[in-house]
Amino acid sequence: MHANLIGVQPLSFTNTSGEIINGTNIFVAFKDENVKGLRTEKFFLKENINLPKDTKLNDTLDLAFNHKGKIEMIYKV
């Protein structure tokens, strides 16, 4: 899926089980046939999934998802 990167939010918190969670929320905009204009969405990137080097806001990304709908790879277009 191609999407424009519109926001990045680093995260580090302790969940209710006491586990420390590190990662990044990314906010993207993309075309959706059911939406006039662009649809926006937030995705959580686990600590081991990084944005490509030199990625900046408004860059176009190619997001690859696993069968559970979680991002597993990100490429800069």
Which segments within 1-77 are labelled E, that is strand?
A: 2-14, 20-31, 38-46, 60-65, 71-76
Q: Which two tokens stand for residue 57?
A: 């806001």
State the pTM of this model.
0.88
Residue range 24-63, pLDDT digits in tens: 999 999 999 999 999 999 999 999 999 999 999 999 999 9
pLDDT the model gives residue 7: 98
Residue 21 CA, chain-centre distance (Å), reads 16
Q: Span 2-76: which CATH code? A: 2.40.50
Residue from 23, 30, 24, 22 nearest 5 by CA: 30
In the chain, where the domains are located:
2-76
Res. 69 pLDDT band, cuts 50 70 90: confident
